[in-house]
Amino acid sequence: MIRVEIPAHLRTLARVTGEVQLEIKGEPTLCALLNELEARYPVLRGTIRDQATNERRPFVRFFACQEDYSHEPPETRLPAAVVAGVEPFLIVGAMAGG
């Protein structure tokens, strides 16, 4: 199981508490993780990435294993510790704005 942490506002929308656990069939890539997350929680479509272009929203970032994955291409393979469920994949809302 892959563990995913999503921002508080998105947890409210998805009506979940704590981490989300996902099972990804096939290659565990960044894109596959987001596809599975949106398939499990359709209300999140458009909140993390643009529905038409799949571009990450500017104030949303992706972190894992102390690395910034925000600018990595969608086909980037998730780190082994995330795939193994040892480390969570973090979807973070930027600390900005009022």
Report d(CA 76, CA 17) in Å as an integer.
Answer: 27
Smallest gap from Cβ 49 to another protein, in A, equals 9
Query: Are 46 and 2 in contact, with CB atoms under 8 Å apart?
Result: no
Smallest gap from Cβ 31 to another protein, in A, equals 19
Smallest gap from Cβ 21 to another protein, in A, equals 21
Smallest gap from Cβ 37 to another protein, in A, equals 13
Where b means 16+ CB within 10 Å and e means fewer, 71-86 reads ebeeeeebbeebbeee
Residues lying near another protein in the complex (CB under 8 A) are found at 7, 9-10, 13, 43, 45-48, 50-52, 57, 59-60, 93-94, 97
Report d(CA 71, CA 73) in Å as an integer.
Answer: 6
Report d(CA 67, CA 80) in Å as an integer.
Answer: 13
Nearer to another protein, 50 or 68 (CB): 50
Nearer to another protein, 60 or 83 (CB): 60
Nearer to another protein, 1 or 94 (CB): 94
